Structure 1
C-alpha cells in the first residue's frame, strides 16, 4: 500500500491513499525541501548562454 500528500493525476503511478488530488499540473515546493528546490532553480538559471524560445 502507498500513501502520498498530493496525488498528481498526470503521474503514471496511482497511490492507494492521498490527502489531495491535483488535476492541473503544478510545481509543489514542500517546506522541508525548500532549500534544495530553490538551489536547483538557481543553478539552472545561472547558465552562461542566454535562454531563447523556439518553435521546435
Structure 2
C-alpha cells in the first residue's frame, strides 16, 4: 500500500508542476502578445515620423 500512496503523491506533485507551468506559459504568451502589439505600434509611429521628416526636407 505504501507504494501506491507514493505513486499517487508523485502523480499529484507532477500534476501540480504541470499546472503551474501551463499557467506560466499562458501568462508569458499574453505578455508576448502585448509586447508584439507595442512593437508594432512603435514601428508605425517611427514610420509616421520618418514620413513627416521626409516631407519637411
Please state which structure has a larger fraction of its residues in helix: 2
More RCO (CA 8 Å, sep 6+): 1
- Which structure features the higher share of strand residues? 1
What TM-score, normalized by structure 2, do the two folds share? 0.31
Q: What is the TM-score of this pair, normalised by structure 1?
A: 0.32
